Structure 1
Amino acid sequence: MAAKMRLTKELKNIQKSPVLKASGISVYLQCDSDLLVWNANIPAPKGSLYEGANFKLEIYFSERYPFEPPKMIKFQKPIPYHLNVGQSDGLVCIGLLKPDQWDPAASCMENVLASILAALAQPQTDSFVDDDVNNTYIHNRSSYQERARRSVKI
């Protein structure tokens, strides 16, 4: 019950957020009767490796939200080649979502979405998902950048 009350409030705040609106981010319920599953559209930031792409995310919450971070946030196709995104499943890994960094009083989905947007412009090197992607990022940045650009080309 507390999760649904908090999520209702956060969804309304996100839909009114001037910062997220200016970034083009939109959030909606996957099913009107289920507050625990959201979808989000996030356009890639201008000047990023993914510029021009529009990403769709699925966001899943547990009944323990906000005392726990969202259960899962994942990119739908196309899955960007990115340090903070699982290549096989699209799962997002950023610092704010780690249980030891999640603060129920201060953390909210508006901040999470803003962090994902920021990570698209500048990956969070301390929260990489895939060792191979991380090695490419560290040792062959031009290859990483090319693969990132290609991952979202239609």
Structure 2
Amino acid sequence: GLVDSLPPEVLLVVFKHLDDISLYTAGNVCTRWRQILDGETSEKEWKHFIQLRWPLFLPQNPVKCWKTIYTNLLNSSPCRYCLESMMLQSTPPIEENSWRHRRLRSELRTLKTDPPEGIQATPLDRHCCHWQASITGPHGSPYEGGIFLLYLQIPQSYPMRPPKVRFITKIFHPNISRHGDVGLDSIHHNWSLALTISKVLISIQSLLTDPFVSVCMEPTIGRLYLSNTLEFDRIARRWTWKYAMHDFMMPCFVDLEGV
């Protein structure tokens, strides 16, 4: 066909206009495209893509192949569309001296100087409209050892209105939907001016230790938690190994049969 007949020089011109996810997807279209992209996209560039899209991902061991890490992080996201649109969200004009801006700057200083244990958060834009956060799986839970990444969208009316929070790392949990949405009462029904980004993340972290199964985002998982805790823990732990431990180990070293 026409696409197969295009010379590499023409394809490379097209590829240069693609973002990182589109570039990765193009490399999976056919062997020829993958070979062309592998020859033109360096490990340094894949590392740069990771730093832009997952700024809180910090590998604990030397990385031999950044493209493999990129692939694993991308496949660990519940929704690729949400992951892509996270970087494309518009930033509305906001007054630098507004209450919202001062409040968020104060919260950011506190998060940097005195972060809660196992929690990090950083804005993705200068107006602090879009944030990325990470939550370390609590000790003693099936999520222990995992680093779970989240996306937060802060409305213009913050702190009068709560942030929108979504996991961008897959997790097996009754209060977190397969799409990554979080079933937390304080950000849906009982928001208060006294709450902060830090407190929201702490509440989500506590859900990983003590799920609230009276009302579930995923009722089937909630019923499993109540009826067979050992099986729930087994699956949740395997999901953690597979999707949330790329900073320490590669999933190929873990037996994930049956996940």
Cα deviations by residue, 1:21-64 (Å, 9 ceiling, x for unpaired)? xx132111123x23011111211111111111111111111111
Farther off after superposition, 142-151 or 35-44: 142-151
- 1:132-143 mapped onto 2 (5 Å cutoff): 132-143=220-231
Structure 2 residue corresponding to 1:86, chosen from 177, 197, 201: 177
Q: Which structure ranks higher in relative contact order (CA pairs < 8 Å, sequence separation ≥ 6)?
A: 1
Amino acid of the residue matched to residue 199 of structure 2?
Answer: N
Bigger fraction of residues in helix: 2
Structure with max Cα Rg: 2
SS in 2 for 1:68: coil
- Give distance in 2, aligned partners of 1:9 and 1:127: 34
Structure 1 residue corresponding to 2:149, chosen from 56, 62, 84: 56
Aligned partners of 2:173 and 2:218 also within 8 Å: no
Amino acid of the residue matched to residue 10 of structure 1?
Answer: E
Match of 1:152 in 2: 240
- Give distance in 2, aligned partners of 1:127 and 1:119: 13
Bigger fraction of residues in strand: 1
Deviation at 1:126, TM superposition (A): 4.0
Deviation at 1:128, TM superposition (A): 2.0
Amino acid of the residue matched to residue 91 of structure 1?
Answer: D
Match of 2:136 in 1: 43
Cα deviations by residue, 1:69-124 (Å, 9 ceiling, x for unpaired)? 11x211112x110111111x11112122123x1111x2111211111111111112
Aligned partners of 1:84 and 1:129 also within 8 Å: yes
Amino acid of the residue matched to residue 75 of structure 1?
Answer: F
Cα root mean square deviation, aligned: 1.6
Farther off after superposition, 44-53 or 134-143: 134-143
Residue 13, structure 1, aligned to residue 105, structure 2: no
Farther off after superposition, 113-122 or 135-144: 135-144
Aligned partners of 2:121 and 2:132 also within 8 Å: yes
- 1:95-110 mapped onto 2 (5 Å cutoff): 95-99=185-189, 101-104=190-193, 106-110=194-198
Aligned partners of 1:94 and 1:124 also within 8 Å: no
- Give distance in 1, aligned partners of 2:226 and 2:102: 43
Aligned partners of 1:58 and 1:74 also within 8 Å: yes
Amino acid of the residue matched to residue 103 of structure 1?
Answer: S
TM-score (norm 1): 0.85
Aligned partners of 1:40 and 1:58 also within 8 Å: yes
Cα deviations by residue, 1:3-33 (Å, 9 ceiling, x for unpaired)? 2222111111222225x1xx132111123x2
TM-score (norm 2): 0.52
